[in-house]
Amino acid sequence: MPTKAPLKVGKKKVKLADKKKRAIVEEQESENLEDDADLLNMDQNNAMGGIDQEQLTAEEKEDQVIKTLNSNNPQAPHNLTKFSYKDRMFKTDDMVEQMVFHFQFDGDIILKDSDEAHDQEEFWDNKKRTNQGLLDKINVAIKEEFGKDPLEGNEKAQKKSLRNQFNFQERAAQTFNLPLREKGIKTDPPQCSVFSLETTQWMIFDAYLTNWEEIQRADFEEQQKGKSKDKKPVQQQQQHAEDPLYSTSMKRALKIMERMIVQNADEEKFEDYKYYEDTTEDPESHNYGSVLPLWRFSTEKSRRKHVTSICWNPRYKDIFAVGYGSYDFLKQNTGLICCYTIKNPTWPEYSYTTESGVMCLDYHPKYPALLAVGCYDGTVMVFDIRLKGNNKPIYQSTVRTNKHTDPVWQVRWQAEDATKQLSFYSISSDGRVTSWNLMKNKLEPEEVIKLKLVIDQDKELVENKKEAFLYGLAGGMCFDFNKFNDHLFLVGTEEGKIHLCSKAYSGQYLETYEGHYLAVYAVKWNHFHPRVFISCSADWTIKMWDQQIKRPIMTFDLGCAVGDIEWAPYSSTVFAAVTSAGNLYVYDLKQEKHHHLCEHPAMKKAKALHVSFNWEDPIILVGDERGGVNSFKLSKSLTKGPLQPAKEDDKSTPQQLEQKKMEDFLNAQDKEVY
C-alpha cells in the first residue's frame, strides 16, 4: 500500500489552505464592519472631529432644523432673455424648464394583458393560419399532379422541403435615382420711398398738450372709480377742431359744385327735361305719342349685369334705386344696388354690394330711407341709405330665420298698421309668400300662403264645391296688393296662372285666372279702379282682367316676350310695357283701345327688362340687360290725366272721375263667354 499515503497527505494540505483563506476573508469583513460602526458612532458622539466638521454644543444639537425639498432644478438658468418680434424688444422668459432626466432607457418589453400584446398575438395567429393555408394549397396541388405526397403526415419535413421549387419566380427591378436640383429666384427689392414733414414749434406744442390732456383724463377716470356709485361721474367733453377740408359743410359744397358742373356740361338735356313739351294734338301726326330720350344711367360696376328692378323714392321725385343681378342662372355673380338722382346722372349717390345677385327692391312708402331687397340666393335684406360709408344691411334673413330657398322675385312693403310695426312681403320660386317683421335685432318671418300647384283643373267637382287636384308647390314670380283692399293680393306663377289670394285665408285661393301659357313676369292692380288688373308673360302677350271674370277682357300680342308692365300714376287707362326686342310701348285705352300710341326703340341690340313711371314728372325709366337705365320724357298726348272736376261739380274727385273712365271702358267690352 505505498501509494495511498501520499494521496492522504495531499488532501489534508488542500483542506488547510481553504481554512486559511476563509479566515483571512472573515477578518477583512469584520474589519470593514468595525470601520462602518466607527463612522456611525463618530457622527453620533462627535468623538472625532474632521477637518470640515463643525463643533456643536448640546443645545445646538437639540434644535430641530426643518428643510423643505422641492422639485426645482438648482442648475436651471433663471435669466433667459429672448427677442419678442411682437413688441420689438428683448424680454425675460419666466418659464424655466425644471425637469432633468438622470437615466432614460427605451425598452421593448410589453405586458401580456395589454392591448398591444393582444394585437401582437392576434397578428402571429393570423400569420400562422395564412402560412398553414398556403401550405395546404401546395400539398393539394402536389397530390393533384403526382397522385401522392411522399412527405404526407410529416409536418416538419413539409415545412423544410422546397414545396414550390418549380414555380418559383424571382423578380427584380432597377430604378433611376432622381438627380438633385436646385432652383432659385431673384426678386426685386421692395420699393422704398422717402417722405418728410415740416413741423413748427406750435405743432410740437399741440402734440404735447394732447398727450397731457390724455393723462389728465386717465387720472380723472381713476379718481371717479374710487368714489361711491351714487355719484354720477362728470364726463369731460373734449373739443376737437374739425379739419375744414374734410368737414360736412365742405362735402355738401363739393356735391353742389359737382351737380352744377354736370348741369352746365349737359345743359341741353336739362333744358329739355324742364321746358320741352310736345303739344301735338293731331293723332295722325308722326310726333303724336312720342317720347324724348334724356339720360342713360350706368356705372363701371354694372356694365355686365342685368337691371332686375327699378323703384322711385316716394318722397324725393328725383331719386330712384336700381337693382343689378343676372337672369342668366348659369352665370351668377355678386349683386349691386345704386341710388341715382336726376340732378347728377354721371354717378350714383349711394351704392351697395351684395354677395348674391339682387332680384328686386322696394322703398318704404312712409320712411323713404328704408330699402327692402331680395336676392338670388333667397336672402332678403333691409338697407338704410342714411348710413353713409356702411355697406352692410341693418336687417338680413338667414337659414335660422327660415329664409327662402330659391330666388326672391319681388318684395313689397306693407302699409303701416295699428301696431306701428314695420313689415314687408316677399315671393320666391320655392312657393312661399312670406311676411317679414322688423324686430329689434332680427327679421321675424311669418308665412302668408303656400302656392299650391294646380295640375288638373278638370278634376274639380263643381257640384260638391271641392278644390282642384293639388300636388306640390308652384313657383311664384310676382305679386301685387290691391290699393283699395289691403288683404287682397294677386300672385303670378311660373305655370302661367294668376291666383287671387287673401291674407285672411292662407289655405286656399279665392280665384284662379288662366290665360297665359308661360311664366307670368308681372301683375299690377290699377291705381284708380278696385277690380281691374293687368299682366304680362313670356308668351308675348299682355292681358287685362276683371276680378269678377275668369277670362281676360283684353289681350295685346307684342310679338316677343314682355319683360315688365306698369300702370301710369296719373291715368286709369294708360300703361307701359317693355319687350325682349328692346322696345318701349305706351297704351292709352281711352284714345286707342286695340293699338299702342307709342312704340320706341329704347335699347340698341339689348333686351329691355323693366319699366317705371315717375309719380310726379312725365318721366319714364327703362332698364336693359347691359346694366344701363335709359330715361325718356313723355309727350302731352301720353300724359292726359288725371281728370279734373268741372267748376259746377263740387262732389266729384279726380279719383272718382278716373274710376268712372275705366268703368266706361269695361262696359264697352264684350263680357260674354262664347
The domain in which residue 597 lies consists of 292-671
State phi, psi for 209 to the nearest 5 degrees.
-65, -40
50 within a domain of the structure (yes/no): no
Do residues 536 and 577 lie in contact, with contact meaning Cβ atoms separated by under 8 Å?
A: yes
State the CATH number of the domain containing residue 579.
2.130.10.10
266 within a domain of the structure (yes/no): no
Q: What is the DSSP string of 115-166?
A: HHHHHHHHHHHHHHHHHHHHHHHHHHHHHHHHSS-TTTT-HHHHHHS-TTSS
188 within a domain of the structure (yes/no): no
> What value does the mean pLDDT take over residues 231-245?
59
Q: Is the pLDDT of residue 132 over 50?
A: yes
Among 516, 510, 592, 607, which residue's Cα sits nearest to residue 557?
A: 516
Q: Is the pLDDT of residue 354 over 60?
A: yes
> What value does the mean pLDDT take over residues 299-320?
91
Helix count and strand count (H, E) for the chain? 8, 32
State phi, psi for 59 to the nearest 5 degrees.
-70, -40
Do residues 493 and 499 lie in contact, with contact meaning Cβ atoms separated by under 8 Å?
A: yes
Cα-only R_g, the chain: 49
Side-chain half-sphere CA neighbours of 353 within 13 A? 6
Q: Is the pLDDT of residue 189 over 80?
A: yes
Do residues 19 and 9 lie in contact, with contact meaning Cβ atoms separated by under 8 Å?
A: no
Do residues 433 and 479 lie in contact, with contact meaning Cβ atoms separated by under 8 Å?
A: yes
Q: Which residue has the cell 345677385?
A: 357
657 within a domain of the structure (yes/no): yes
Packed helices 267-275 and 248-265: angle between N→C axes, nearest 10 degrees:
90
pTM of structure: 0.62
> What value does the mean pLDDT take over residues 321-343?
90
C-alpha cell at 224: 371717479
Q: Tell me, what DSSP letter sits at residue 244?
A: G
User: For residues 512 and 648, what is the distance between their CA atoms, to the nearest angstrom?
Assistant: 44
Q: Is the pLDDT of residue 451 over 70?
A: yes
357 within a domain of the structure (yes/no): yes
Q: Would you tell me how many other CB atoms lie within 10 Å of the CB of residue 396? A: 18
Do residues 629 and 296 lie in contact, with contact meaning Cβ atoms separated by under 8 Å?
A: yes
- Could you give the percent of the chain with pLDDT greater than 70? 84
148 within a domain of the structure (yes/no): no
User: For residues 302 and 52, what is the distance between their CA atoms, to the nearest angstrom?
Assistant: 96
Do residues 434 and 476 lie in contact, with contact meaning Cβ atoms separated by under 8 Å?
A: no
Helix, strand, or coil (residue 270): helix
> What value does the mean pLDDT take over residues 610-617?
92
Among 634, 620, 628, which residue's Cα sits nearest to residue 604?
A: 628
C-alpha cell at 76: 436651471
Of the ranges 17-21, 285-289, 455-459, the best mean pLDDT one: 285-289
> What value does the mean pLDDT take over residues 80-104?
86
Q: Is the pLDDT of residue 569 over 70?
A: yes
When pLDDT is cut at 50, 70 and 90, the band that residue 147 belongs to is confident
**Dihedral sign (CA 232, 237, 238, 243):** positive
Q: Is the pLDDT of residue 618 over 80?
A: yes
Which of 6 and 162 is assigned the larger pLDDT?
A: 162
C-alpha cell at 165: 421549387
548 within a domain of the structure (yes/no): yes
Among 511, 439, 522, which residue's Cα sits nearest to residue 477?
A: 522
The DSSP H or E segment spanning 562 is: strand 562-567
Q: Is the pLDDT of residue 160 over 80?
A: no
Q: Which residue has the cell 413688441?
A: 87
pLDDT tens digits along 470-502: 467 888 899 999 988 888 999 999 989 999 998
Strands (E), 286-391: 291-297, 306-312, 319-325, 335-341, 350-354, 358-363, 370-375, 380-384
pLDDT at position 41 is 57
State phi, psi for 170 to the nearest 5 degrees.
-115, 125
479 within a domain of the structure (yes/no): yes
> How many domains does the chain divide into?
1
